[in-house]
Structure 1
């Protein structure tokens, strides 16, 4: 929450919003190596498979929005000293599958199979 409050304050001080993609890439670049590598790859996957999503910081995390509403996000393991990073989806994601479906995935690394699954989920989320 503090990160989001800082984001809003910074926007007000500058009088205009900085380029959101530049902010997302800068946040990813600050991450420890294991998180940074996954964050960079996820950014590439989302941009390639859902170009209609706009990158933006959300509570200090790289996220991707459609019409201003968050669809998916990447949470670095280091953010909460967790043993895994998280790739998650918000309510705007079109992932409904019956009465129960996954909205977040734990990541310790990204394999080619993982990348394909994330690409398919992102495509479905914006469909």
Structure 2
């Protein structure tokens, strides 16, 4: 996410901050988890076709690999949380007018590997090998041993 050259936030960044405020409000409601999960699915459905296909596949992989994660949104992006904090998220290319979608992991993801490791990945397609790698990363992120 990069703001404009004069240091202000871009329209996309401002929209993401508004989404974060709405997410916090939904989380406090009686139907917080249920409402957040539906908003996540609605966000995926509203994506451009190529991003939507990737997001749907990521959603299926993450919810299968780590069903204990809560489905929600994080700054308006599909996300999967543990103890209320996003662990993994999907950023569609269209959200910030990027060249590719991104699969990202937050700092609470247990992906530590020495003193240097990736926390986000460019995502342009998902074949069986990529799906298996995503599942393995998600399982590691939530502290499960790779199977």
Asked if the contact 2:78/2:89 (under 8 Å) is kept, the reply is yes
SS of residue matched to 2:16? helix
Match of 2:114 in 1: 98
Paired residues in the alignment total: 126
Distance 2:25 2:40 in 1: 18
Unaligned 5+ residue runs, structure 2? 1-13
Q: TM-score scaled by structure 1?
A: 0.90
Find 2:84's aligned residue among 68, 83, 99: 68
Match of 2:3 in 1: none
List structure 1 segments (4+ residues) > 6 angstroms apart after TM superposition.
none
Match of 1:79 in 2: 95
Distance 2:138 2:96 in 1: 24
Find 2:57's aligned residue among 1, 21, 41: 41
1:26-84 per-residue CA deviation (whole Å, 9 max, x = no partner) reads: 00000000000010010011100011110111111001110001101000001111111
Asked if the contact 1:4/1:58 (under 8 Å) is kept, the reply is no
CA RMSD of aligned residues (A): 1.9
Q: TM-score scaled by structure 2?
A: 0.79
Match of 1:8 in 2: 21
Q: 1:97 to 1:31 in 2, by over 3 A?
A: same
Q: 1:9 to 1:52 in 2, by over 3 A?
A: closer
Asked if the contact 2:36/2:71 (under 8 Å) is kept, the reply is yes
Unaligned 5+ residue runs, structure 1? none
